[in-house]
């Protein structure tokens, strides 16, 4: 914690002071953008209220001290990978310098103000070159609910209590918020059929997740300890790992997800640093069994969880046509996760696997202990047996063409400034012929 977290701070960017805004001066998330409609190269930016600080312009403005100026110049490139690789000292110095320059009464205002671009005039891109993508399964409530649908006698397999289960996904199909994708084709086995058929998915679903961007990596053959793990994390975003449940059910045994998962993954454009989330640390607890020593630690137990509220909303084609607002499907919290971020990193590298700047880790679907906190339609509809009723009069067991899913995330509590992750939106299009 430092003075950037002070809830009393106000910015001369007036929209950042609006109650409930995702991007107050206490946040300052990083992303990549350019002016909409231009042929300019993309470059790094920082969100503040309804504006974006162009980090290339900020680096040349004279408003930043030398270390922050150097970090801004690195961040001004078309992806944030080099800033991620520069380490937490550079990230923190840049965030602090921007916080000081953006505060009410700052003498740097006249220097920095020309570097601001209206968010409404910006085109946002993936914030990093994502070399590798790994998706975990950290919510015991999601794992148990799904397990009960398919294995009523043994919802959780024995390994779940001992290691953060995960699989390696496909980075090439990850896109920034606004992604539109066609309903996927694949093999599926209809009820009672003796052989599969190639067909469009009938059980398309969303997954309410967080994404974890790796900052500084590790060399091949080395491990990252549980106590060092979070120093390798640049920050968090929202993530929707779209899933074709019928394709997945047929193909996943014995090797796991493949075509049921790799057709689309959508992330939010802004990466919120762990430093910005520091006021929302809460204890991580485990009763029985205790994790193996490489997944346990004093810091992990005292402050290894983060109180991030997560929401999933749906906007159907009929709702858009009628001018109706999106309807909330569920509201959960990341603090319920059975495995935390540091444990994901420590386990990922315990065999010597090398992480690299810009690698993305998904937390897996974040569901809470109450069935209404489920982070997918698979859970909310009990595998399709109990369709979800929408205020528009429609029902959903799984997603239909024209449906848009919006995920939102934010932290708020008395005595701290609200910090938001923005939102991530994706739209389902009809399958290609």
All structural domains of the chain, each given as residue ranges with its CATH number in brackets, are 10-125 (2.30.30.230), 133-429 (3.90.850.10)
pLDDT tens digits in sequence order for the chain, 433 residues long: 999 999 999 999 999 999 999 999 999 999 999 999 999 999 999 999 999 999 999 999 999 999 999 999 999 999 999 999 999 999 999 999 999 999 999 999 999 999 999 999 999 999 999 999 999 999 999 999 999 998 999 999 999 999 999 999 999 999 999 999 999 999 999 989 999 999 999 999 999 999 999 999 999 999 999 999 999 999 999 999 999 999 999 999 889 999 999 999 999 999 999 999 999 999 998 878 999 999 999 999 999 999 999 999 999 999 999 999 999 999 999 999 999 999 999 999 999 999 999 999 999 999 999 999 999 999 999 999 999 999 999 999 999 999 999 999 999 999 999 999 999 999 999 999 8
pLDDT confidence of residue 304: 97
Exposure string over 362-380, b if 16+ CB within 10 A, otherwise e: bbbbbbbeeeebbbbbbbb
pLDDT confidence of residue 288: 80
Tokens of 393: 């009069």
pLDDT confidence of residue 286: 80
Instruction: State CA 245 to chain mean position distance.
Output: 21
pLDDT confidence of residue 253: 86
Contacts of residue 310, Cβ cutoff 8 Å, sequence gap at least 6: 208, 210, 238, 331, 332, 333, 334, 366, 375, 407, 408, 409
Q: Which of 333, 330, 337 is nearest to 312 (CA)?
A: 330
- Statement: the pTM of the whole predicted model exceeds 0.85: yes
pLDDT confidence of residue 285: 86
Residue 221 CA to residue 235 CA, distance in Å, equals 24
* Beta-sheet strands, E only, within 29-163: 30-35, 43-48, 51-54, 116-118, 122-125, 133-136
CB 245 within 8 A of CB 269: no
Beta sheet of 419-429, edge-to-edge order:
179-182, 419-429, 404-411, 309-315, 327-333
Instruction: State CA 112 to chain mean position distance.
Output: 29
Residue 418: phi and psi, rounded to 5, are -65, 135
Task: Determine how many CB atoms are found less than 10 A away from the CB of residue 151.
Answer: 11
Task: For residue 21, indicate whether it is catalytic.
Answer: no
> Helix, strand or coil for residue 360?
strand
Instruction: State CA 345 to chain mean position distance.
Output: 16
Contacts of residue 326, Cβ cutoff 8 Å, sequence gap at least 6: 313, 314, 315, 319, 404, 406
Catalytic entry in 5, 21, 141, 142? 142
């Amino acid at each position: 914690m430092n003075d950037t977290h002070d809830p009393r701070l106000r910015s001369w960017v007036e929209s950042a002071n609006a109650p409930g805004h995702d991007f107050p001066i206490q946040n300052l998330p990083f992303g990549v953008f350019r002016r909409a409609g231009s042929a300019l190269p993309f470059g790094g930016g920082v969100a503040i209220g309804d504006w974006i600080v162009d980090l290339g312009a900020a680096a040349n403005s004279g408003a930043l001290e030398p270390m922050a100026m150097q970090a801004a110049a690195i961040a001004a490139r078309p992806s944030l990978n080099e800033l991620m690789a520069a380490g937490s000292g550079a990230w923190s110095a840049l965030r602090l310098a921007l916080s000081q320059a953006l505060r009410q009464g700052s003498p740097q205002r006249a220097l920095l103000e020309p570097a601001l671009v209206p968010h409404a005039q910006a085109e946002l891109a993936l914030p990093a070159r994502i070399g590798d993508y790994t998706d975990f399964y950290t919510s015991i409530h999601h794992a148990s609910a799904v397990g009960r649908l398919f294995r009523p006698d043994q919802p959780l397999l024995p390994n779940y209590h001992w290691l953060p289960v995960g699989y390696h996904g496909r980075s090439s199909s990850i896109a920034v918020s606004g992604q539109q994708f066609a309903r996927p084709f694949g093999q599926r086995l209809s009820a009672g059929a003796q052989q599969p058929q190639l067909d469009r998915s009938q059980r398309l679903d969303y997954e309410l997740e967080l994404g974890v961007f790796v900052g500084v990596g590790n060399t091949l053959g080395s491990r990252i300890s549980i106590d060092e793990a979070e120093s390798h994390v640049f920050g968090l975003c929202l993530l929707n790992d779209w899933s074709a449940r019928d394709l997945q059910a047929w193909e996943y045994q014995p090797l796991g997800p493949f075509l049921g998962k790799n057709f689309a993954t959508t992330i939010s454009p802004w990466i919120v640093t762990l430093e910005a989330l520091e006021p929302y640390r809460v204890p991580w607890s485990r009763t029985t069994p205790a994790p193996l020593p490489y997944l346990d630690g004093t810091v992990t137990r005292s402050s290894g969880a983060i109180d991030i509220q997560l929401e999933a909303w749906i906007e159907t084609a009929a709702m858009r046509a009628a001018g109706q607002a999106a309807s909330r499907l569920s509201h959960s919290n990341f603090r319920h996760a059975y495995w935390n971020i540091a444990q994901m990193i420590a386990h990922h590298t315990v065999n010597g696997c090398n992480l690299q700047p810009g690698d993305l880790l998904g937390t897996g679907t974040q569901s809470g202990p109450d069935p209404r906190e489920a982070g997918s339609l698979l859970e909310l509809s009990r595998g399709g047996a109990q369709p979800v009723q929408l205020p528009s009069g429609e029902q959903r067991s799984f997603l239909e063409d024209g449906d848009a899913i919006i995920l939102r995330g934010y932290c708020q509590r008395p005595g701290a400034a609200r910090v938001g992750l923005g939102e991530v939106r994706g739209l389902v299009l009809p399958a290609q012929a």
